[in-house]
Amino acid sequence: MNLPGKEGTIIKGYSGFYYVLSEGTIFTCSLRGKFRQKKMEQTFLPGDRVVISLLEGDKGVIEEVLPRKNELLRPTIANVDQALLVFSLTSPDPDFALIDRLLLFTIEEQIEPILIWTKSDLATEECIEKAKESFVQGQIKQVIVSAETMNGIEAVKNLLRQRITVLAGPSGAGKSSLLNALQPGLALKTGEVSKKTGRGRHTTRHVELLHLSFDALVADTPGFSTLNLPALTAPQLGELFPEIVDLMGQCRFNSCLHRTEPDCAVQEAVEKGLIHQRRYESYLLFLEELINQDRRK
- Report how many residues bind ligand GDP under the rule CB under 6 A: 18
The residues, ordered by sequence, that sit 6+ positions from 105 with a Cβ below 8 Å of its Cβ are: 224, 230
Which residue of 22, 194, 221, 267 would you call a contact of ligand GDP, by CB under 6 A? 194
What is the Cα–Cα distance from 44 to 93, expressed in whole angstroms? Answer: 39
Q: Is 197 in the site for ligand GDP (CB under 6 A)?
A: no
Which residue of 51, 52, 77, 264 would you call a contact of Zn ion, by CB under 5 A? 264
Positions 80 through 119 that interact with ligand GDP (CB under 6 A):
118-119
Q: Which does 279 bind (CB under 5 to 8 A by kind): Zn ion, ligand GDP, none?
A: none
Q: Is 287 in the site for Zn ion (CB under 5 A)?
A: no
- Report how many residues bind Zn ion under the rule CB under 5 A: 5
Q: Which does 164 bind (CB under 5 to 8 A by kind): ligand GDP, Zn ion, none?
A: none
Q: Which does 176 bind (CB under 5 to 8 A by kind): ligand GDP, Zn ion, none?
A: ligand GDP
Between 183 and 190, name the residue whose CB sits nearer to ligand GDP. Answer: 190
Q: Which does 258 bind (CB under 5 to 8 A by kind): Zn ion, ligand GDP, none?
A: Zn ion
**Minimum CB separation from ligand GDP for residue 111, in Å?**
19
Q: Which does 118 bind (CB under 5 to 8 A by kind): Zn ion, ligand GDP, none?
A: ligand GDP
User: Which residues in this chain contact ligand GDP in the complex, by CB under 6 A?
Assistant: 118-119, 121-122, 146-148, 171-177, 190-191, 193-194
